[in-house]
Amino acid sequence: MAMDYLRDSILATLAYYDIFDFPLTLLELHKYLINPGRVAKLTMEGVGEIKLADIQSELEYLAESGRVQTKNGFYFLLSGRALFGTRIIREKIFAQKRSMLVNLCRYFAFVPYIRGIWVSGSMATANTTADSDFDLMVVARAGRLYTARMLLSLTASVLRSRRKRYEESAPDKFCFNHYLADNALEIRHRSLYTAQAYINLKPLINRENLSDKFFSANSWLYKFVIHGAAGDILTRGLKPSHLAELIAKTGERVLGGFLGDMLEHVFKKYQQKRIKENPMTYETGGRVVFSDNELEFHPRSFEAVVIQRYNHRLEMLGILAPAREADSGLLT
């Protein structure tokens, strides 16, 4: 299966992760492989099945021709000793941070209305530095999004582990930067950057088969990453204790009905007022969303920089993509 489009897709994927100083293994290349239709004029039907052996065969050719370097099972484009060493160091830092992350997240299972919590960002890929915080995406029960956010923030504050608004750096603190209602899981802001981010999500709390529902609702991911959610993305995550389930369900009963509706209204009004009054909400190059079904806080997103660097790397590699990649709709 010596296909130029697969070769270019492999190079494009390595180029994308090269931006993050992140060499890939064969399995990771298969999982994160950019849809060949984005680097060549192909349809999904024209691509066909891409097997692990196909990627391995192309990697061997690319390594022999000097376009790709390899060391200890990792593949990369640039001079790889430093890149390989960087990944090993960051994986060691990740291993140290992971225990703290998991232990603290067990307490979030006690919070009412939480249906799912996923790790995103550098902790999701084990590409972690000492200054890394814990980025989390949260799914809450529909109609209780703002109540869930308030209770989750209070819990993190009690644990002294919540990142505060104006902290430039907050190692080992939680940054709850994306909330979704459980009846509105489809992501509206789409790009190669967001697709790769969602493919990398790692579930911590995964009630009611939420991971399956999320990836079913976001089949658009395959347009960017051909294997979508295949592989280890649908891991089980933490299993909340019986006590956590009891307290969470009891809280939902207490906060149900008229009382819960009233509190949701109060919390929504208060939080949206603070969001609207925050100058960062309107900064260019980022995105802040606040609606009944979604809260997203990426006021200073790295996305535009990544997309620009990726497009430039494709040009340097001589890959003539049908169109340049664009961001997912950041403020301009």
Summarised one tens digit per residue, pLDDT across range 14-43 is 999 999 999 999 999 999 999 999 998 766
Strand partners, 205: 117, 238
pLDDT recorded at residue 187:
97
Please choose, from the candidates 308, 190, 227, 198, the residue with its C-alpha nearest in 3D space to the C-alpha of residue 32: 227
Phi then psi for residue 213, to 5 deg, are: -65, -40
Say if residues 125 and 22 touch (Cβ distance below 8 Å): yes
HSE-up (13 A, CA, CB side) for residue 220: 15
pLDDT at res. 234: 39
174-206: per-residue pLDDT in tens? 999 999 999 999 999 999 999 999 999 999 999
Cβ pair 118, 176 in contact under 8 A: no
DSSP 164: P
Q: What is the pLDDT of residue 171?
A: 86
Taking the CB of residue 148, how many other CB atoms lie within 10 A of it? 24
Helix boundaries (H) for 255-302: 257-277
CA dihedral 74, 80, 83, 85 (to 10 degrees): 80
Share above pLDDT 90 across residues of the chain, in percent, rounded to a whole number: 80
Q: What per-residue confidence (pLDDT) applies to 163?
A: 84
Q: Which residues contact 311 (CB under 8 A, 6 or more apart)?
A: 324, 325
The answer to whether 48 and 5 are in contact (CB under 8 A) is no
Residue pLDDT, tens place only, 297-330: 999 899 999 999 999 999 999 999 999 999 999 9
User: What are the percentages of helix, strand and coil residues in the chain, rounded to 5?
Assistant: 50, 15, 35
Helix intervals (H) in 176-228: 192-199, 210-217
| Packing angle, helices 303-317 and 192-199, rounded to 10 | 110
> What's the CA angle centered on 329, arms 325 and 332, to 5 degrees?
105
Q: Is 201 strand, coil or helix?
A: coil
Domain ranges of the chain: 4-87+304-317, 97-302
Of the chain, the end-to-end C-alpha distance in Å amounts to 43
**CATH class belonging to 4-87+304-317:** mainly alpha
**Nearest residue to 79 via CA among 70, 92, 89:** 70
* Secondary structure (3-state) at 140: strand
Q: What is the per-residue pLDDT for 233?
A: 41
Query: How far is residue 69's CA from residue 81's CA, in Å, rounded to a whole number?
Result: 10
Q: What is the pLDDT of residues 277-296, one digit of tens each?
A: 999 999 999 999 999 999 99
How confident is the model over 215-274, as pLDDT tens digits? 999 999 999 999 876 544 435 567 889 999 999 999 999 998 999 999 999 999 999 999
1 falls in which pLDDT band (50, 70, 90)?
A: very low
Higher pLDDT residue, 275 or 166? 275
Calculate the average pLDDT of the chain.
91
What pLDDT, on the 0 to 100 scale, is given for residue 43?
62
130-181 confidence digits (pLDDT tens): 999 999 999 999 999 999 999 999 999 999 998 877 767 788 899 999 999 9
Q: Alpha-carbon distance 281 to 92, whole Å?
A: 35
